[in-house]
Amino acid sequence: MEIDIGETDSVRSQLLIIPFFEDEKEIREVRDKRIMEFISRILKSGALKGKTFETLFTVTDLSEPKYIMFSGMGKREQITLHDLRKVAGIVSKICMPKGIESYGILLRGIWSKKLSAPAWVEGLLHGAYRYTDFKSEKPDNASQEIKKIFLFNVKENEKKDIKNLCSRSNKILNSVNAYRNVINAPSNYMTPAKLAKVATEMAQKTEIRHKVFGLKEIEELKMGGIIAVSKGSREEPRFVELDYCPKKYKKTVCLVGKGVTFDSGGISIKPWDGMEKMKYDMAGATAVIGAMDIISQIKPAVRVIGLVPVVENLPGGSAYKPGDIIRMYSGKTVEVISTDAEGRLILADALAYGLKFKPSTMIDIATLTGACVIALGHDASGILGNNEKLIRLVKLAGEDTGERVWELPLWKEYEELIKSDHADMKNVGGRDAGTIQGAVFLKRFIGETPWVHIDIAGTAWHDNDKPYAVAGATGWGIRLLTRVVEKLGE
Ligand code: BES
Ligand code: ZN
Ligand code: ZN
């Protein structure tokens, strides 16, 4: 997508977008007289109230712009940048099906344009995403992409900075949308081998070093969790190690992402209703791969290790079973209560393996528990960890990116829940505090390393269409992890 930044509205685009706040009487920033007259007529009609997410799409009687879209922004002091991204998403989601390819955006509002301009880019591109890989017929008239945007009302001396920030958001959102395709891809295509290939192909395009372990190497390493979970499937597991290592760095961060290409629950099989969605149980893996992809482009001075265990969880004849006791990579033993609590088993091996890099920070990200969806819904991911400072840093990164997290407690009282009579711990201890149990389990494998666990079960996928985005994979986490790494490098 081409991005142009300028002072006036004289550059041509098919569509002009006018953000409009509640109770406004006029728009002053547009200089073109004919456009101004058109806008005044609309405003005088009183049809536009400026309520948040209100839209008014009009055809002008001008040749350029052919269309004007008024975007309601609500009360000036109440709208957040996060809302602004949604407003932008609504615009592209409405306008793409009309075949519109060039968008002019009037920048106005209380934010610095260095914040609002990239937010527009992010929202527009996020809203423009469609998953069409398996559609035989593309919809008539719909444009496949936004070809050009023009952001105006920017002073000459700010142009360069804003342009850079917008190009960066453009790059990031292209990545996010590409990984949304990987998540949305059905599990008969996106097998563990294929997902590992996505990671290696990404690494080959960058300076990231990579290794992929197959079943034999995973067995040699005695990664008991990964081996156990993969046993019920004919698809062999993979373990991907990515290493972004700049010449100069002080800190090493280890990112670990859950890569279950399909989670049937295994022998503890899930009910059929909604099981098809469990193809997105690898969204933690793509969050890590996607973040590494972007990190390799923006080059922070932090070493970043990405670890991605990839398996398919099926109830085949040689599947692992409730009651089985597994010896994990770390040497600890786990009694399996439910084969559906598979994510923590593969993550635990990856986390324990990650310790060999002596990271100063570990972060794992996973679609780990249905309980997290019940607790927080789809607008916040759960965060739990052993280090207040790190949790705070991730929260702030969430505010910056709009990928927000909410903390749950990880007090020692909860450790009782996963005590086992026969092994060092069990993988599930009943129904209580499901999300906390997952984190309590993982905490056993990270030693004293400052660590956080991010549960994205609710945020990685939206069941329903939203005005600002289509149903399906959201690509959640890529931008958050990138921002966290950046902050750690500051
Ligand atoms: N992949 C699921 C968690 C999940 C549920 C993600 C819904 C997205 C939406 C995970 O492997 C799982 O099955 N967890 C179980 C844990 C239980 C057996 C303790 C769950 O949440 O039901
Ligand atoms: Zn499961
Ligand atoms: Zn799972």
Reduce the secondary structure of the chain to three states and give it as a string: CEEEEECCCCCCCCEEEEEECCCCCCCCCCCCHHHHHHHHHHHHHCCCCCCCCCEEEEECCCCCCCEEEEEECCCCCCCCHHHHHHHHHHHHHHHHHHCCCEEEEECCCCCCHHHHHHHHHHHHHHHHCCCCCCCCCCCCCCCCCCCEEEEECCCHHHHHHHHHHHHHHHHHHHHHHHHHHHHHCCCCCCCHHHHHHHHHHHHHCCCCEEEEECHHHHHHCCCHHHHHHHCCCCCCCEEEEEEECCCCCCCEEEEEECEEEEECCCCCCCCCCCHHHHHHCCHHHHHHHHHHHHHHHHCCCCEEEEEEEEEEECCCCCCCCCCCEEECCCCCEEECCCCCCCHHHHHHHHHHHHHHHCCCEEEEEECCCHHHHHHHCCCCEEEEECCHHHHHHHHHHHHHHCCCEEECCCCHHHHHHHCCCCCCEECCCCCCCHHHHHHHHHHCCCCCCCEEEEECCCCCEECCCECCECCEECCCCHHHHHHHHHHHHC
Q: What is the pLDDT of residue 408?
A: 98
- Tokens representing 375 are 């607790």
At 142, the pLDDT band (50, 70, 90 cuts) reads: confident
User: What average pLDDT does range 430-444 have in this prediction?
Assistant: 98
Indicate if the pLDDT at residue 10 is higher than 80: no
Mean pLDDT over each residue of the chain, to the nearest integer: 96
Ligand 1 atom with minimal separation from the 434 CA: 19
Amino acid at 324: D
Q: What is the pLDDT of residue 186?
A: 98
Residues paired with 58 in a beta bridge? 68
Ligand 1 atom with minimal separation from the 280 CA: 8
111-135 pLDDT, tens digit per residue, is 899 999 999 999 999 999 999 999 9
Indicate if the pLDDT at residue 144 is higher than 90: no
Indicate if the pLDDT at residue 61 is higher than 90: no
| Cα dihedral value 163, 169, 170, 175, nearest 10 | 160
Indicate if the pLDDT at residue 324 is higher than 80: yes
Q: What is the pLDDT of residue 8?
A: 83
Q: What is the pLDDT of residue 12?
A: 80
Q: Measure 201 CA to ligand 1 centroid, in angstroms.
A: 29
Instruction: Note if 344 is an active site residue.
Output: yes
Which range (37-51, 203-217, 313-327) has the least confidence?
A: 37-51
Q: Measure 337 CA to ligand 2 centroid, in angstroms.
A: 12
Cα angle for residues 405, 406, 412 (degrees, 5° grid): 125
Cα separation, 207 vs 57, whole angstroms:
45
Q: For ligand 1, atom 7, which residue shows the shortest CA distance?
A: 370
Q: What is the pLDDT of residue 15?
A: 96
Angle between helices 283-298 and 192-204 in degrees, nearest 10:
0
401 lines ligand 1 (CB under 6 A): no
Indicate if the pLDDT at residue 109 is higher than 90: no
Q: What is the pLDDT of residue 140?
A: 73
204-213 pLDDT, tens digit per residue, is 999 999 999 9
Cα separation, 1 vs 185, whole angstroms:
24
Ligand showing the shortest atom-to-Cα distance for residue 265? 2
User: What average pLDDT does range 374-381 have in this prediction?
Assistant: 98
At 139, the pLDDT band (50, 70, 90 cuts) reads: confident
Backbone angles phi, psi at 434, to 5 degrees: -55, -45
Question: Would you give the distance in Å from CA 449 to the centre of its chain?
Answer: 24
Q: What is the pLDDT of residue 2?
A: 95
Residues near 33 by beta carbon (within 8 Å), at least 6 away in sequence: none
Q: Is the peptide bond before 118 cis (omega within 30 degrees of 0)?
A: no
Q: Measure 367 CA to ligand 2 centroid, in angstroms.
A: 9
Which has the closest alpha carbon to 329: 427, 228, 456? 228
Which residue from 340, 414, 456 has its CB within 8 A of the most atoms of ligand 1, so it is best to mutate?
340
- Tokens representing 88 are 């932008």
369 lines ligand 1 (CB under 6 A): yes
Which range (20-24, 277-281, 407-411, 451-455) has the least confidence?
A: 20-24
Cα separation, 180 vs 173, whole angstroms:
10
Which has the closest alpha carbon to 87: 39, 36, 40, 122? 122
187-222 pLDDT, tens digit per residue, is 999 999 999 999 999 999 999 999 999 999 999 999
434 lines ligand 1 (CB under 6 A): yes
Q: What is the pLDDT of residue 138?
A: 79
User: What average pLDDT does range 329-354 have in this prediction?
Assistant: 98
At 23, the pLDDT band (50, 70, 90 cuts) reads: confident
Angle between helices 113-128 and 81-95 in degrees, nearest 10:
40
User: What average pLDDT does range 259-278 have in this prediction?
Assistant: 98
Indicate if the pLDDT at residue 7 is higher than 90: no
Q: State the greatest distance between any 2 C-alpha atoms of the chain, in Å, as a whole number.
A: 80
- Tokens representing 305 are 């290790």
Residues paired with 406 in a beta bridge? 382
428 lines ligand 1 (CB under 6 A): yes
Catalytic residue (one of 130, 344, 426, 443) = 344
Q: Measure 263 CA to ligand 2 centroid, in angstroms.
A: 5
- Own/partner contacts of 161-166, CB < 8 Å, gap of 24 or more, are 161/114, 162/5, 162/113, 162/114, 162/117, 163/3, 163/5, 165/114, 165/117, 165/118, 166/3, 166/5, 166/117, 166/118, 166/121
Q: Measure 322 CA to ligand 1 centroid, in angstroms.
A: 16
Which has the closest alpha carbon to 224: 439, 424, 431? 424
Q: What is the pLDDT of residue 358?
A: 98
Instruction: Note if 270 is an active site residue.
Output: yes
At 424, the pLDDT band (50, 70, 90 cuts) reads: very high
Q: Measure 247 CA to ligand 3 centroid, in angstroms.
A: 37
352-368 pLDDT, tens digit per residue, is 999 999 999 999 999 99
232-262 pLDDT, tens digit per residue, is 999 999 999 999 999 999 999 999 999 999 9
At 88, the pLDDT band (50, 70, 90 cuts) reads: very high
pLDDT cut 70: percent of the chain above it: 100
Q: What is the pLDDT of residue 297?
A: 95
Ligand 1 atom with minimal separation from the 281 CA: 1
- Tokens representing 210 are 């990579």
Which has the closest alpha carbon to 430: 413, 415, 418? 418
User: What average pLDDT does range 14-20 have in this prediction?
Assistant: 96
Distances (CA, A) of 333 to 327, 341, 424: 4, 15, 5
User: What average pLDDT does range 371-397 have in this prediction?
Assistant: 98
Which residue from 369, 381, 425, 436 has its CB within 8 A of the most atoms of ligand 1, so it is best to mutate?
369
Cα separation, 167 vs 487, whole angstroms:
20
